[in-house]
Amino acid sequence: MCIHGARFIILALLLQLIFACPNLAKQAERAPENHYVLADGLRLHYVVSGQGQPLILLHGNDGTLQDFTMSIFNNLSVKYKTIAFDRPGHGDSEAHWYRLLPPQAQARILHSAINKLGVNRPLLVAHSWSGALALSYALQFPNDLSGLVLLGSVAYDTKELEPKPFYYMSRLPIIRTAAAFAFIAIGKEEVKKELAKAFFPDVAPELYVHNFLSSLCRLSQIRAAAYDEITLNPALKQMSSEYPDIHVPVIIVTGDHDKIVSPEKHSYPLHKAISQSHLVVVHNAGHELQFSCQREVMAAIDLAVSPSLKDCITVSAQ
């Protein structure tokens, strides 16, 4: 998922101090196989299951691959070879902490990993922040993928995506610790409110909330979230003029009640920019589409594999 605002990084750092991670964490529903692949000197964690057309699932910022393994992964693996990655620094994947990794750099790392796995022309399914990664991948490696499915994706630099000063300050250990103590009384509940906003109008699954809070105990997760936010707007500003050059199938799925990534500022103009794209607007749906709108997401993936439907599909979430 993707959460913006200075409060989040500070409150996340707070949770690192007040939660005892090994004792708190419950195990999420996982895919059958866990693996690692070395790409650009980084050990990347991924899970894989199923056979058929390969799908690469990419989580949003401050998320992990459990955003998919706790939602749509198992259903997809019945029909497709389904691979979900922890992006650099998130979950159990390593990161280069001495340098920032904008979406363009993460796309190159992902491309290296996919090649090492011997996966041929996958379909990228990207949520939220990772939409920027997927769009960059399509621009850099147009012949090496079969298409994109973008779920509640970012696409353009906007004021709402601007990182607050605390994102930069989170790189400083002393300030990080002081800020955590300053918010000790309200941290857990505030993060729960942000999760409720992401899942609106649905309710966040209790186990997901529990595991999400647990993940914030990891310094690497917090730093990765901060670094991703710092690099996002500059990357989108650089890429956005090139979107008309994307010629692979692109399915854009958005919820009309998304309170995290505005459809009006991202999905709708992106659909206009990419001539052959398809727009799926899910009524009464928010940001976490892979949880609340699995039927619609699976239909969008089927459409990307075999494009044959109308240019604009409007469906109603049940």
- Locate the domains of the chain by residue range: 6-316
Instruction: Classify domain 6-316 at the CATH superfamily level.
Output: Alpha/Beta hydrolase fold, catalytic domain (3.40.50.1820)
DSSP character at residue 267? H
Phi-psi region of 40 (alpha: psi -120 to 50; beta: other; left: phi over 0): left
DSSP character at residue 34? E
Q: Is the peptide bond before 163 cis (omega within 30 degrees of 0)?
A: no
Tell me if residue 214 falls in helix, strand or coil.
helix
2 touches 163 (CB < 8 A): no
Strand partners, 310: none
Other CB atoms closer than 10 Å to residue 284's CB: what's the count?
Answer: 14
Other CB atoms closer than 10 Å to residue 139's CB: what's the count?
Answer: 15
Per-residue pLDDT of the chain (318 residues; tens, 9 = 90+): 555 544 555 555 445 544 444 443 444 444 457 899 999 999 999 999 999 999 999 999 989 999 999 999 999 999 999 999 999 999 999 998 778 899 999 999 999 999 999 999 999 999 999 999 999 999 999 999 999 999 999 999 998 887 766 555 555 565 555 554 444 344 567 778 889 999 999 999 999 988 887 776 677 777 888 889 999 999 999 999 999 999 999 999 999 999 999 999 999 999 999 999 999 999 999 999 999 999 999 999 999 998 554 444 444 444
Nearest to 61 by CA among 209, 227, 235: 227
